[in-house]
A and B are shown apart, each in its own frame.
Chain A
């Protein structure tokens, strides 16, 4: 009698197992999925309204969850209210599925490892500088979050030669990438050409203009100050690609030197 109920229970549970979101049991993927099962590419109807939790499509090498969607098991589900949108990347044979509201309200954003953030320098010490993160990508945060840039993370090369004092000034607006989380703070890096000081105000009170990779100049007083200057890239997909490259191949992330 007891055995009977056990066996029925086990079959019932087997079906559900793969879509249980919360059990943190590590089961290697290869045991669960056969590779050939995944290799087909359905068509997705963009513009479909989605509720959170609604299943969108299969998750395989052709499809990836973007903003407002999450992958679980072998499917992609919506995680926010909005309309289905897709973005094609023909070279990679990849479609990014996202769910967006489209009414102008900014999507939910929080700093994550790999994100490019905008921050304001609060204070400097010899070893690090403390910042307040105000934007993640292009989205403004409701509440600022603290982060630090360590001396070693200012330049990609010559890590031990870089100094905080010759790279940032208090009050500068800095573009940086979150590379990790330590005890209390987000650790950020400016070790890319496109990252570094975006705007800085001179002692005379004017926005300074970059005059090279390491210096900025006040347009009025012609005073120059040392900064780690960012080369601002205008690309609407840049944020997404930064994140992808960060996760997949770090070496590919470097853009061509100007």
Chain B
């Protein structure tokens, strides 16, 4: 079977052929293509390992919501809606500060509980909870398409929705993900790239490998979310964090640009109102 990832058609055809013959095992039906084409040094979707997929952000996508935002990172599409403050439901623990609830819906699947808690703890670190005592702030995230790095996109979407709603926050959070295959870093990996790395296989990845997700507060230079799975050396992890910081600043530039555009709109509406 061909291992060349550029000729995807061929792979598909041979798959079909093999299936007809009924001889292939399930493991070899979909061979995992290499992360980088050795000839061109480009990834499957044509970017270099250090490139980020195109990002599109939009705020105020839902009328009537307190705050809403839509973020696209490549094929990952996330919609976030913020509502509140609300009365606490009776069963919830009483608290002198505000409480945040995060609800993540993944279209055609279920977000793992661990990831939901990660996002929740990140939001708790970002929002100034003291400003709304005994009230509940709800953050609804809908991952409309999971094309990889969905936690990072969720953080960006939630951050923008919070900015849109005017909820007091310490800083605008951004997030990004990195994939390490034992040799190189692949920033903002797509779903197929994440799936192609098998972290459980002990024989293959002696040299390590892992997925690192980082949420970042750019102006305060602080990390609000950090999770790593796999196996990496401490030095590698440190350099991974450096490149993640750089990516986060790039993502933040997009968000900042969008915010500036937004503020231009504010000025226009203000002058209209004044007239």
The total number of A-B Cβ pairs within 8 Å is 122
B133 at the interface (CB under 8 A from A): yes
Main SS at interface, chain B: mixed
Render A34-68 as a binary contact track against B, CB cut-off 8 A, 1 for contact: 00000000000000010111110000000000001
Which of B85, B86, B88, B168 contacts A80, CB < 8 Å? Answer: B168
**Chain A residue at smallest Cβ distance from B96:** A181
Main SS at interface, chain A: loop
Bound-complex Cα distance A81 to B132 (A): 18
Q: Are A110 and B219 in contact (CB under 8 A)?
A: no
Bound-complex Cα distance A106 to B263 (A): 15
Render A56-99 as a binary contact track against B, CB cut-off 8 A, 1 for contact: 00000000000010101000010111110000000000000000
Which of A19, A49, A80, A143 contacts B166, CB < 8 Å? Answer: A80
Q: Are B170 and A77 in contact (CB under 8 A)?
A: yes
Q: A52-B169, A143-B84 are in contact. Are A102 and B132 (CB under 8 A)?
A: no
B215 at the interface (CB under 8 A from A): no
Interface residues on B, range: 35 or more
Q: A110-B98, A142-B66 are in contact. Are A53 and B169 (CB under 8 A)?
A: yes
B62 at the interface (CB under 8 A from A): no
Q: Which of the 9-residue segments B27-35, B189-197, B266-274 touches chain A? A: B266-274
Q: Are B259 and A108 in contact (CB under 8 A)?
A: no
A171 at the interface (CB under 8 A from B): no
A26 at the interface (CB under 8 A from B): no
Q: A79-B128, A145-B135 are in contact. Are A54 and B219 (CB under 8 A)?
A: yes
Which residue numbers of B lie inside 8 Å of A, CB to CB?
66, 83-88, 90, 94, 96, 98, 125, 128, 131-135, 162-172, 217-220, 222, 256, 259-260, 262-263, 265-267, 269-270, 273
Name 5 extra pairs, CB < 8 A, besides A53-B170, A77-B170.
Answer: A21-B222, A51-B259, A103-B266, A181-B134, A184-B94
Report the 10 A-B pairs with minimum CB-CB distance, sorted nearest first.
Answer: A53-B171, A110-B132, A79-B168, A53-B219, A103-B266, A108-B166, A110-B85, A143-B86, A103-B269, A49-B263
